[in-house]
């Protein structure tokens, strides 16, 4: 345990949870991670006294999260019984609200997806419409999985806005004010009766990659998603780095371009998002069609009255120079921004996701080349940059992981374990 | 303790040190931070059994790091005796090797500086010259403090290169190859007989600010130094974020300018350092003098054959427009880079240091305005940007803190505590 | 007559036309400009001997270009008869071939438009289709005016490509190769039986402005047209400056932007045309709609599947910030390019034309402000920048003026005057 | 004679000088250019009547500018006597006032330099000091040539400011106000007793190249000088294009860079001059030395306290990467600006002069490559870009040519020819 650094000339161990809370969570974590599989193991590995161990295990077994199995067989004497974590003790609802669709899923406490669905939906400033659609989708996926609502231990929601994690407030951009004021946590806690956490969608994808993707076991990594916008999630020293207000990872808004013609959704100009997102590429494709710089896109525009992102990708595949340059340049802009992230954070891995990164075969190569060109050699020496093979499930996995992490954190676990289920906290209005 | 996230769908607690090592360091940390001041306190706060507590305290008292004081007085019965940390148990040597000078100091285990000196020195590709100068300065500062070399428990060194922290290798830039191969740790461990750690100078300044400056108690902050070059140190979640190769915080090399005329020391172009450092301002001052765009600087150039940074500052104070624009623009470039850092990292505090930030009264205001203009509103809502009042001592304090943190970390502490002093590890060739 | 400068240390008067040709054209010019209205006037103003004057006037009267009118009345003796130019001696066909339409007109020798029509037409790489449409339009406009083809003295054509004026070759851009090889002059001379000249469309608009617009009487001016592309025409010292290959005035291809994402029709990047043309604004409007940065455009896109330039203008009028910034920035880019033109050419007047300059009321103000900001004070001190009130007729007027200038130039006039009509040159295959 | 274009729908021949003035200048030009070498020739080529020719030749012979030589021999009858121009009829003083030196010369009417000298001199805001130095230099060069002041027919002066040609006012930049108000023409006309003309130095170099350099006989060309600043002169259709205020050719102030750190002497930012001039390169060299990016320059700086332009060139020759990149980039910036000039002006030739263009062997190649990359293919197809072999004499030749052109222009010539010498105009206060 590296000591943290914030008490005068002397480092502190933080404002600690109570010893009760801390040891409860620690014992659960040791069993869950199979670092201790018997009662003597738990005592030995933790250093806790026998009384403490017995008491904590008792609470966890009562809550159904740990079960004591068969007696093991050892050379001499009666073997201790094996302890194991019960991922089916509760279920988690996970949801991702995106600009063009909603994805929902049901998982166990290990994050294994039991059922999921995706629903088309155009997000508008009218928050109630989106929430109603989401409610319906959640009901449907529970029904798909044959699970009653009262077995839900918690819900995790990803939204395409920065989220002040502590207060669960989404920080909406200009023109989306209704979202800003909306209390998402309150709505879902009231409707579902289970504790709810909300975070930025890309943070949750990063978390999903850290748990179930290429980033497993990597302490310092970043996830970057390029879709209609561009977002990032940063893991530092094995922990999601949310920053002081939960705004960390906003790679889509770092300034990479001089142009001031295109206002970003954030209200500023020059943002990566204004030159490397799907929306930016759609604008470029339209211009190439209108100016005649791409004859193939020009024809599409004449035929259909508009062009789509897939037309740009098709033109590029057919060798159209303008289309290829547009995709290459967007990859280079992304590379420039990632080089900056690499210079500042020096991750071991950068994972790319989202629809744009797959528009061209050369995309990844262009990103990599630009990062190598613009980041410090030391920081790129062992750097891997990959396209995430997990695809769209990352966000759900991350949302579930967020909820489980929170439910099993010392203070929270301590607050509900004696009540048998986290739902009791909502029921009693006692959520910490 | 928030669980870290890297074992499949299940988070892990990391490859843990042995229970012995972990509890030893934990007990010391509790006493040092005054979270536990008696034996019963230690047992209660840690949850450790009485045997464990007794054994660990015994080791720490034997090594001279904890002492047991007077018996306290309580209403009824004999009070337990008070435990306290002994900062004078050992001394630490701290050193900063900079391009134009060397600073050395002696501190106690709390980082209190007992004695220090600064020696002028021009760093060149000839590493031996710098090392010899540094050796002499270290001897001198020990002699100033009246401390014998064999009381030194460890040495911390900051260098103006990125450092691969694990291997203690400085990663020198083109033209400085001799530094690249030089084994700094080996040299000082052999010469001083005490364990040595090396890190990038600005990382150590950040650490110093976290321990003894405005950043005390702030989990997410960044330190940015603008001198001959520009460097940064990032603290994430209360810990120095060094990144996968120790290269994190390289804010001086993020690309903020389109110009490709000026090669950076890193070999690339467009780096912040090429437009916002003292070296960049000196170049601009020279151009303004040569072109006649600044009459005042032109006169200086005619008189002296060259101009200095202080001439630029003086011209700005006298109202020279070109000089003011140069300083403002350099501050804006710094602001642009800090906005990027803020978007990615969302710190609560950014501290500025180094000689350039003091060249103009408006400097800080210009930096702040640019950050507000270019970073996300959510990330700047509560952001503080300040000039560090600690000044030049930050680096020494940080170097000492690094050494103490390492000496008292679980694995390291466990390896030497029974030998009485960390020096024994070097003596026996047994440094972990 | 300012001597031109190209013979060693001694200036030359150029390779002169024969004296016969020169005096013929000069006499016609004096009468046409009413600088000499009687035979004695012509002799006095020109300095030519009586024989020369008599002979030249005879030729011009025979060709129907000058008529001798009533005897004037003077105090004493018989007054000389008044000479006047006959603009109806012949008619000129004028045509503009644009990307989206074709405009044709019939004018007299003074450039007065007798009849005109505009025909919708989408220009494609298939040159024959465009030529056939143009042929039909020319027939129609002659028929509108009740004029037989054999009264046509010449034809002038503007095309949206640079034209090597001497060879009448259009220099087409990549993807438009068929146009490149097509001999426009040959086609029209064969079909119409009259000499034909071709120039870049914007050069002809500049010429039109110089003859009939705000630029009348101004020696140094520039015309800039912002439509689907951006083009310019430059008048230097009272003459259209075509440059060595007829490529002068290519303001749409000067580099004003750093971006390399959008390939220009010319195959390069960063061209003014890629950031300030109608095509560029359509691309930006699409992006603002797709990203949601402009809620109003986003709604349009959702309703119609695409947005149009007029939607951007409407959003701007309704106060949409993103739309206004897009139009302002495009005006600023135009201003940057015009500032460059102003620094290099120092015109007294810059006239703006084309559909984009009218999209926003603030457009002209933004252009002007940027020019003032970026051009030398000396060059902007008396500079006027205006939107041309002539509108679309400029090009036809210029095309006709080009033809008349050529027909009445010394060498050309001399070659056909004795034949009675310029058509005879084509008939005999004797065009100089 | 191509008709100029500025009278309504009908082109005009300009506000003409009187017939007397026009024919006088035309007859002189024909003889001077050897287009007519006998009286009958003059009548035939000009078309003027015998009386006019006799009268004009008489005036020119009386003024000593034309002499009638030996009778030629022809097959039959008495041959006419040969007419020739007398370049020694008068002498011209030519001067260039530069930032670091003054060059003066005496020439005949053909621009042949009879004597010249260069005097070191640092131009300051104190105009009187410069004028006094110039006065002395002019006296000295006349004395060198053994020519009395009263044989001087005119003086031509080049200054490193834009000049409003008509009023002879230099338009000085901020900080040089004293120059702004100074009446250079009045001073020299009073002191020398001969008509004086002033123009921007680089305009005169362009004129010199047009008369005696690689640009002889080329109608459309541009001269670009890169010294402490960057300036240009443009020739359009065989005539120096001065523009409406004499500010044309200001290539040094077109915007090629985004940087706003360096104020130009003109008060603006981003000017070519701030990135491609000698002053800019000196600033870069200083920065490379200070930052250590160029070890060789760093050493020079350590040794001498400053670096010079020649050190940069030497480092580049020795293979120093940073020095080479600095020179290459400055050449590319120049190429970008020239590409813009080429797109707007389409010259057949661009000549480069000044000390910077010779700092590196690769300079010209870099300029050419950038022009090819950024200008329209049509405009570069036959474009030549060369370094002027004339070197420093160009300016003097151009200054003399300006004076002779003016003295022999119709209106001016007519005003003094009957007085025998242009000096009489000053004497009588009768300069037109």
pLDDT in tens, A271-282: 999 999 999 999
Q: Which of the four pLDDT bands, split at 50, 70 and 90, describes residue A75?
A: low
Across the beta sheet with D113-120, what order do the strands follow?
D113-120, D101-107, D91-97, D152-159, D196-200
pLDDT recorded at residue C148: 95
CB contacts of A381 in chain B (<8 Å) are 245
Q: Give which of D261, D268, D318 to mutate to test B binding, by max B Cβ within 10 Å.
A: D261
DSSP assignment string, A359-422: S-TTHHHHHHHHHHHHS-HHHHTT-EEEE-SSGGGHHHHHHHHHHHHHHTSHHHHHHHGGGSST
Share of chain C above pLDDT 70, in %: 93
Identify the sign of the CA torsion D316, D320, D323, D325.
positive
From the number of C-beta atoms within 10 Å of its C-beta (0-12, 13-18, 19+), residue C112 rates as middle
Q: Which sign, positive or negative, has the C-alpha torsion C259, C264, C267, C268?
A: negative
Pairing of strands D91-97, D152-159: parallel
Beta carbons of D192 and D129 less than 8 angstroms apart: no
Closest CA to B277 of B231, B223, B209: B231
pLDDT of A180 reads: 78
For A239, B6, B12, B399, C92, the CA distances from A211, given in Å and listed in that order, are 11, 6, 10, 35, 79
Percent of chain A clearing pLDDT 70 (strictly above): 93
- Those of residues 63-122 in D touching chain C at CB distance below 8 A are 85, 110-112
Please, are residues A398 and B6 in contact by the beta-carbon 8 Å criterion?
A: no
Q: Indicate if the pLDDT at residue C313 is higher than 90.
A: yes
DSSP category for residue A263: B
Average confidence score pLDDT of chain A: 89
- Show the tokens assigned to D283: 């600033």
Q: For residue A290, which of B219, B35, C309 has the smallest C-alpha distance?
A: C309
Instruction: Please list every residue in chain B whose beta carbon sits closer than 8 Å to the beta carbon of residue A385.
Output: none
Residue C352 in this model has a pLDDT that exceeds 50? yes
Q: Alpha-carbon torsion C102, C106, C108, C109, what sign?
A: positive
pLDDT band at B15 (very low <50, low <70, confident <90, very high): very low
Nearest to C4 among D49, D238, D241 (CB): D238
A217-221, B209-213, B233-237, D122-126: the lowest-pLDDT one: D122-126
Q: Two tokens at B62? A: 């034997």
Q: Which of A1, D96, D12 is nearest to B13 (CA)?
A: A1
Q: Is A131 on the interface with B (CB under 8 A)?
A: no
CA distance D189 to chain B (A): 30
Which of B2, B4, B5 should one mutate to test binding to chain A, selecting the residue with the greatest count of A CBs within 10 A?
A: B5
- Report the distance separating Cα D3 and Cα B25, nearest Å: 97
Task: Between D426 and C126, name the one with better pLDDT.
Answer: D426
C237 contacts chain A (CB < 8 A): no
Confidence of residue C324 (pLDDT cuts 50, 70, 90): very high
Asked whether the beta carbons of residue B251 and residue A112 sit closer than 8 angstroms, the reply is no
Do D305 and B302 make contact, defined as CB atoms within 8 angstroms?
no
Say what the pTM is: 0.88
Q: Which of residues 241-260 of D touch C (CB under 8 A)?
A: 241-251, 253-255, 258
Given this model, what pLDDT does residue D163 score? 85
Tell if the CB–CB gap between C236 and D241 is shorter than 8 Å.
yes
pLDDT of residue B75: 61
Q: How far is B242 from chain D (nearest CA, A)?
A: 25
pLDDT at res. C375? 94
The strand pairing partners of C105, in sequence order, are C94, C116
Confidence (pLDDT) at C77: 62
Query: Which two tokens mark C342?
Result: 């102003």
Considering only the beta carbons, identify the residue of C175, C274, C287 that sits closest to A282. C287
Which regions in chain D score pLDDT beneath 50?
A: 1-15
Say yes or no to pLDDT of A12 above 60: no
pLDDT of B49: 79
Distance from the C300 Cα atom to the nearest Cα atom in chain D, whole angstroms: 35
- For residue D269, list chain B residues with Cβ-Cβ distance below 8 A: 325
Q: How far B210 CA lies from chain A's nearest CA (Å)?
A: 6
Which pLDDT does position A9 carry in this prediction? 44
Asked which of A264-273, B311-320, C310-319 is least confident by mean pLDDT, the reply is A264-273
Write out the two tokens for B107: 């501190």
Which one of D12, D171, D210 has the shortest CB-CB distance to C5? D210
Q: Distance between CA atoms of B323 and B426, rounded to whole angstroms?
A: 53
Preferred mutation among B4, B6, B406 to probe A, highest tally of A CBs within 10 A? B6
Q: What pLDDT shows up at residue D258? A: 80
Q: How many CB pairs under 8 A join A and C?
A: 139
Q: Which of residues 374-403 of C touch D (CB under 8 A)?
A: 374-379, 381-383, 397, 401
User: Which residues on A lie below 8 Å from C326 (Cβ)?
Assistant: 261-263
CB contact under 8 A, A5 and B242: no
Q: Which of A179-188, A242-251, B181-190, D172-181 has the weakest average pLDDT?
A: D172-181
Q: Do residues A273 and A264 make contact, with C-beta atoms less than 8 angstroms apart?
A: yes
* Per-residue model confidence (pLDDT) at position B167: 81
Q: Which residues contact C317 (CB under 8 A, 6 or more apart)?
A: C360
- Going across the sheet that includes A113-120, the strands are A113-120, A101-107, A91-97, A152-159, A196-200
CB contact under 8 A, C408 and D251: no
pLDDT for B8 equals 34
Q: Are A343 and B254 within 8 A, CB to CB? A: yes
Decide if pLDDT at C58 tops 80.
Answer: yes
B164 vs C34, which has greater pLDDT? C34
B358-383 per-position pLDDT tens digit: 999 999 999 999 999 999 988 999 99
The set of chains that have 3 or more CB pairs under 8 A with B is A, D
Residues whose CB falls within 8 Å of the CB of residue D58, separated by 6 or more in sequence, listed in order = none
Contact criterion met (CB < 8 Å) for B250 and A33: no
Counting residues of chain B whose pLDDT is more than 70, the rounded percentage is 93
Across the range A164-172, mean pLDDT stands at 80
For residue C397, pLDDT over 60 is answered with yes
Residue in chain A closest to C173 (alpha carbons) equals A293
Band of residue B9 on the pLDDT scale cut at 50, 70, 90: very low
Contact B299, B216 (CB under 8 A): no
| Per-residue pLDDT, C1 | 30
Check pLDDT > 70 for residue C205: yes
**B147-158 mean pLDDT:** 96
User: For testing the chain A interface, which of B4, B8, B11, B223 should be mutated: the one with the most A CBs within 10 Å?
Assistant: B11
Question: What's the mean pLDDT in C36-48?
Answer: 86
pLDDT of residue D131: 94
Asked if C321 reaches chain A (Cβ–Cβ under 8 Å), the answer is yes
Query: Which pLDDT belongs to residue A16?
Result: 53
Residue C9: closest CA among D216, A416, B353: D216
Least reliable range by pLDDT among A256-265, A365-374, D279-288:
A256-265
Read off the pLDDT of residues C156-181 as tens digits, 9 standing for 90 and up: 999 988 888 888 888 777 667 778 76
Q: pLDDT at position A413, please? A: 95
Distance from B200 to chain D by nearest Cα, in Å?
18
Mean pLDDT of B167-181: 76
B22 inside 8 A of chain A by CB: yes
Is residue C116 pLDDT above 50, yes or no?
A: yes
* Poorest-pLDDT segment among A179-183, A421-425, B203-207, D87-91: A179-183
pLDDT digits 0-9 by tens, A138-167: 999 999 999 999 999 999 999 988 888 888
Distance, in Å, from the CA atom of C412 to the CA atom of D384, rounded to the nearest integer, reads 31
Opening angle at CA B140, ends B137 and B144, nearest 5: 140
Which member of D122, D283, D293 has the closest CB to residue B287? D283
- Give the pLDDT mean for B296-325: 94
The yes-or-no verdict on residue A403 having pLDDT over 50 is yes
Find the mean pLDDT for residues B261-269.
Answer: 90
Q: What is the ipTM of this complex?
A: 0.88
Tell me the residues of chain A between 141 and 200 that have a Cβ less than 8 Å away from chain C.
175
Mutate to test the interface with A, among B84, B376, B381, B406 (most CBs of A within 10 A): B376
D295–B284 C-beta distance less than 8 A = no
């Amino acid at each position: 345990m590296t000591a943290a650094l914030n008490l005068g000339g002397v480092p502190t161990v933080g404002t600690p949870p109570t010893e009760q809370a801390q040891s409860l969570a620690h014992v659960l974590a040791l069993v869950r991670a199979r670092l201790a599989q018997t009662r003597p193991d738990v005592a030995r590995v933790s250093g806790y006294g026998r009384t403490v161990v017995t008491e904590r295990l008792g609470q966890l077994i009562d809550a159904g999260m740990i079960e004591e199995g068969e007696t093991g067989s050892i050379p001499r004497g009666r073997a201790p019984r094996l302890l194991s974590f019960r991922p089916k003790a509760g279920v988690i609802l996970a949801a991702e609200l995106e600009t063009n669709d909603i994805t929902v899923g049901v998982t166990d406490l290990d994050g294994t997806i039991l059922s999921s669905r995706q629903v088309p939906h155009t997000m508008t400033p009218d928050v109630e419409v989106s929430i109603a659609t989401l409610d319906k989708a959640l009901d449907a996926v529970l029904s798909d999985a044959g699970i009653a609502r009262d077995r839900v231990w918690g819900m995790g929601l990803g939204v395409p806005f920065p989220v002040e994690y502590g207060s669960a407030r989404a920080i909406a951009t200009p023109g989306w004010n209704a979202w800003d004021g909306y209390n998402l946590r309150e709505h879902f806690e009231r409707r579902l009766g289970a504790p709810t956490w909300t975070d930025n969608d890309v943070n949750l994808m990063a978390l999903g990659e850290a748990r179930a993707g290429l980033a497993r076991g990597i302490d310092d990594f970043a996830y970057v998603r390029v879709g209609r916008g561009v977002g990032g999630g940063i893991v530092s020293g094995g922990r999601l780095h949310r920053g002081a207000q939960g705004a960390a990872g906003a790679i889509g808004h770092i300034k990479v371009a001089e142009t001031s013609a295109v206002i970003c959704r954030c209200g500023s100009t020059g943002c990566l998002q204004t030159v490397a997102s799907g929306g930016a590429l759609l604008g470029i494709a339209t211009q190439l069609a209108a100016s005649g710089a791409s004859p193939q896109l020009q024809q599409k525009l004449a035929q259909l009255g508009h062009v789509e992102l897939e037309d740009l990708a098709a033109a590029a595949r057919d060798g159209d120079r303008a289309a290829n340059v547009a995709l290459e340049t967007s990859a280079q802009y992304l590379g420039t921004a990632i080089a900056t992230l690499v210079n500042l954070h020096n991750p071991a891995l950068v994972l790319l996701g989202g629809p744009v990164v797959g528009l061209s075969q050369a995309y990844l190569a262009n990103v990599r080349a630009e990062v190598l060109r613009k980041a410090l050699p030391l920081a790129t020496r062992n750097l891997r940059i990959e396209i995430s093979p997990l695809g769209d499930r990352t966000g759900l996995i991350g949302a579930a992981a967020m909820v489980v992490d929170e439910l099993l954190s010392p203070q929270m676990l301590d607050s509900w374990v004696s009540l048998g289920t986290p739902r009791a906290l909502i029921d009693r209005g006692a959520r910490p």
